[in-house]
Amino acid sequence: MADILQKVQSGVVHIIHMVNEERVSSGTGFMVEGLLVTNDHVAYTPPTDSVVVIRTINSSSSVLLDGISMTNHDFLTRTKTASDERNYDYIVLDIPELSKQKLYNFELSNYSDLGKRIGDDIFFLGYPFEHFNLVCHSGIISSFYKSKNIDVIQVNASVNHSNSGGPLIAPKTGKVIGIITRKATGLTQGFESFRSILKENIEILSNSGARMVVDSLDFAQGIIVSQNQMLGMTYELERSANVGIGYAFSVKELINDYFFEKF
141-175 pLDDT, tens digit per residue, is 999 999 888 999 999 998 988 999 999 999 999 99
Residue 58 has pLDDT above 80, yes or no: yes
State the Cα–Cα distance between residues 37 and 127, nearest whole angstrom.
15
- Give the CA angle between residues 14, 154, 166 to the nearest 5°: 10
Average pLDDT (88-116) is 95
CA distances from 102 to 132, 134, 246 (A): 20, 17, 30
What is the pTM for the complete model shown? 0.81
Residue 124 has pLDDT above 90, yes or no: yes
Of 11-20, 22-31, 150-159, 189-198, the poorest mean pLDDT is in: 189-198
Residue 233 has pLDDT above 90, yes or no: no
State the Cα–Cα distance between residues 102 and 111, nearest whole angstrom.
27
At 235 the pLDDT is 59
Where in the chain are the domains? 2-185+242-259, 188-240
Residue 9 has pLDDT above 90, yes or no: yes
At 185 the pLDDT is 61
What is the CB neighbour count within 10 angstroms for residue 218?
A: 13
State the Cα–Cα distance between residues 31 and 97, nearest whole angstrom.
12
Of 66-70, 97-101, 212-216, 226-230, the poorest mean pLDDT is in: 212-216
Confidence tier at 63 by pLDDT (50, 70, 90) = confident
At 199 the pLDDT is 76
Tell me yes or no: is domain 2-185+242-259 CATH 2.40.10.120.
yes
Max mean pLDDT among 36-45, 194-203, 217-226, 239-248 falls in 36-45
At 207 the pLDDT is 74
Q: Are 121 and 168 in contact (CB under 8 A)?
A: no
Average pLDDT (188-217) is 64
